[in-house]
Structures are given as C-alpha cells and as structure tokens.
Amino acid sequence: MLIRFEGSVSREWKAALNKRLAGLLPGAKARPSAGGLLLSGFAPALAADAVPLLENMPGVLEVKLALEELCPLACAAGTRHPPARPLDFRRGFIFIAGPCAVEEEASYLASALALKAAGAHALRAALFKPRSSPYAFQGVGFAGLKIIAKAKKLTGLPLVTEATDTRQIERLASVCDVLQMGARNMRNYELLKEAARSGRAVLLKRAMRATLKEWLLSAEYLLMHGAKNLMLCERGDAVFSSDSPGLDFAMLREAKRTTGLPVLADPSHSTRDRALACAMALKAARAGADGLLIEASAEPQTARVDGRQTLTVESFSGLTGAILCKKKR
C-alpha cells in the first residue's frame, strides 16, 4: 500500500497517521517512499476498508493498493493445481463453440455433433440471453435444458451456459459444466457469489471498458465465495472497426501473467462478423490466449441472434486445423 502525502508533514501529523494505521492495519510495517509511505505486512482483507479511512485524513493525497493487495486470491490462483475437468487447459488450446443461443432442438443437436467432429472441446449452450432490446429474443430459457442435456449425452462434451440471474443458477448447474458470467454481469456481485457457491466451473468475461483491476476484483468475488475452477475470457471493448482493435491482447496477457489462470478470447462479440472473427481468432491464438469462446453452428443463416458473426462448421473446422497446426510447430 502506498500512502502519498501533500507536501511535507509534521511530526504530530505522522504520529496521528501511525495511530490510525495501528488501529486499521495491525502489524503493518511502514518505510519511506517517494512522496509518502510504503506499507507492507498487513492482512489484505483489512486493506479495502482501511483505504477510505486513510484517505479521509487531511494531508493525504492518495492511497494506492497493489493488485496483490486488492485481489490476493486472484493473483495467487495460478499457484493451485489446475483442475483437468471439465476442460483441461494443460493439454493444449481449448475450443468452446456453438451458436449464440440455443434455439430449435434438431439444429442444435446437428451443430453439436458437427462441432465436436470439427474439434470443439465444449459447447456454448446459452438458454438465457441478455439482450439490449427488451423486444429481442431472450433465449429459450429452462425449456432448453432438455435440448442441451441431449447434446451433452450425444457428444460427451461439457456445456458452457450463461446465467443472467441468481435464480437460474441451481437449475443450470444441475445440467451444465461451466457457468458463464457475461460481460454485462461482470459487476453483478450477487450473481458472482451464487455462481461460485454452485461448485461448477465459472467462466468470467471482462465487461466492456472494464480495467484489469475491476476484472480481477470480480474474479476475487468468485474465488472468495468458493469457486475452485475459474477461467477468464477477454471479449473486447467495442465493436471492431478500423480504429478499434477489437480484443485487448495486452489486457489478456496481463490477466494471464498476474493470475496464472487460463484466459480465453471471444473473437465473435468483439468483431460481429464471421470473417473478421476468424482472423481475430488466429490473432488471439498467436497473442497467447489459452482457448476460444466462439460462435459457430450448422445453420448460421437461420440464427435469430448473431448469425452474421457465427462461423459455419466448415470455417470452424478450418480454424481449429489452422490453430492446432501452428501450435504444433
């Protein structure tokens, strides 16, 4: 923790600060640092509430916490042995593929089988869709549970599904292997807590424009509330255009470096176009992503949601081949 002062400070003021520090952060050791004091040796769990109280002191310019102090569990997450199920990232690049939303049974099952044959390790199985328009298709809801359960039985592949409400978690977790916390819900802390308690693996997307710190604090919520198997997913800040890079690869690498967790990339929602998504997926693999969460299906042209960014099975198959072939070299 770095406490920066406004200019020089009196001895009485320092004594008042030390008194406050002893109360707020017992055991903290302070040493002088440029323009202030650097604190170590305190319990990170006490730091978040200490910061505003220290900032309240006249003469304090700012109080800053390092990422390891803000989210100690997330920063140490990679030191735990990574679970091999439902997705084994140690064995190589992971493809999670499927349509944007589960719609009709026959086409979902056809997609599931074809995507497995083309190299998918898990299926996108979204029953609840967070849509910008309340008039737009919101997903088939729980009626789709029997469809995705059939796909799981047929393919043997794990299911990745987005939960948009705490009340969905229990039923989704009874069938699905990974609960996706979507970009819009990265900051829905009650949802994160409930997903963590379910015991299922959790995939946490970065919200648009969220900083690394905000993303990792959301990961901290999940880990603190019992998530044992966590993966992150970079989904970009905005829709791809000539002046927007789509995915933030520097952020992706930094998330991997600081947490040691697997970090996937979503090239579909960051580009909104299937040709661009393919190119972005290749870039993501080169940039160090551990896998992809990508929209692909047997019938993108009939999809009610995101059809234009959904890869055909043929292009998904070409993509898995290209990525795996490059990784082997």
Smallest separation (angstroms) from Mn ion to the CB of 309: 7
The site for Mn ion, by CB under 5 A, has a size of 2
Query: Binding to ligand PEP by residue 267, rule CB under 6 A?
Result: no
Decide which of Mn ion, ligand PEP, none touches 205; Cβ closer than 5 to 8 Å per partner kind: ligand PEP
Binding to ligand PEP (CB under 6 A): which residues in 123-142?
Answer: 126
Cα gap 278→285, rounded to integer Å: 11
Residue 201 contacts residue 176 (beta carbons within 8 Å): no
Which among 32-40, 113-121, 133-141, 178-186 is the span making contact with ligand PEP, rule CB under 6 A? Answer: 178-186
Q: Is 171 helix (H, G, I), strand (E, B) or coil?
A: helix
Pairing state of beta strands 2-5 and 36-40?
antiparallel
Q: Of residues 42, 269, 289, 292, which one binds ligand PEP by CB under 6 A?
A: 269
Q: Of residues 75, 77, 100, 212, which one binds Mn ion by CB under 5 A?
A: 100
Q: Of residues 36, 158, 182, 267, which one binds ligand PEP by CB under 6 A?
A: 182
Query: How would you classify residue 38: left for phi > 0, otherwise alpha for psi between -120 and 50, otherwise beta?
Result: beta
> CB-wise, 100 or 292, nearer to ligand PEP?
100
Residue whose CB is nearest to ligand PEP in the complex, by number: 182
Binding to ligand PEP (CB under 6 A): which residues in 70-99?
Answer: none
Q: How many helices (H) and strands (E) does the chain have?
A: 13, 13
Smallest separation (angstroms) from ligand PEP to the CB of 283: 18
> CB-wise, 63 or 298, nearer to ligand PEP?
298
* DSSP character string of 96-135: EEE-SS---HHHHHHHHHHHHHTT-SEEE--SS---SSTT
Q: Of residues 229, 306, 311, 317, which one binds Mn ion by CB under 5 A?
A: 306
Distance spanning both ends of the chain, measured CA to CA: 44
* Residue whose pair of structure tokens reads 């088939």 in the numeric block: 140
Query: Binding to ligand PEP by residue 262, rule CB under 6 A?
Result: no
> CB-wise, 69 or 162, nearer to ligand PEP?
162
Cα atoms in the Cβ-side hemisphere of radius 13 Å centred on 61 = 12
Distance of CA 156 to the CA centre of its chain: 24
Q: How far is CA 166 from CA 137, 145, 185, in A?
A: 20, 17, 11
Decide which of Mn ion, ligand PEP, none touches 182; Cβ closer than 5 to 8 Å per partner kind: ligand PEP
Binding to ligand PEP (CB under 6 A): which residues in 15-74?
Answer: none
Query: Which residues have a Cβ under 8 Å from the Cβ of 42 and sit 6 or more positions away?
Result: 1, 25, 26, 27, 28, 50
Residue 303 contacts residue 297 (beta carbons within 8 Å): yes
Which among 38-46, 59-67, 137-145, 179-187 is the span making contact with ligand PEP, rule CB under 6 A? Answer: 179-187
Q: Of residues 94, 178, 183, 252, which one binds ligand PEP by CB under 6 A?
A: 183
Positive or negative, the CA dihedral 152, 315, 105, 234 is positive
Cα gap 327→329, rounded to integer Å: 6
> CB-wise, 180 or 258, nearer to Mn ion?
180
> CB-wise, 54 or 210, nearer to ligand PEP?
210
Query: Binding to ligand PEP by residue 162, rule CB under 6 A?
Result: yes
Q: What residues make contact with ligand PEP under the rule CB under 6 A?
A: 100, 126, 162, 182-184, 205, 235, 266, 269
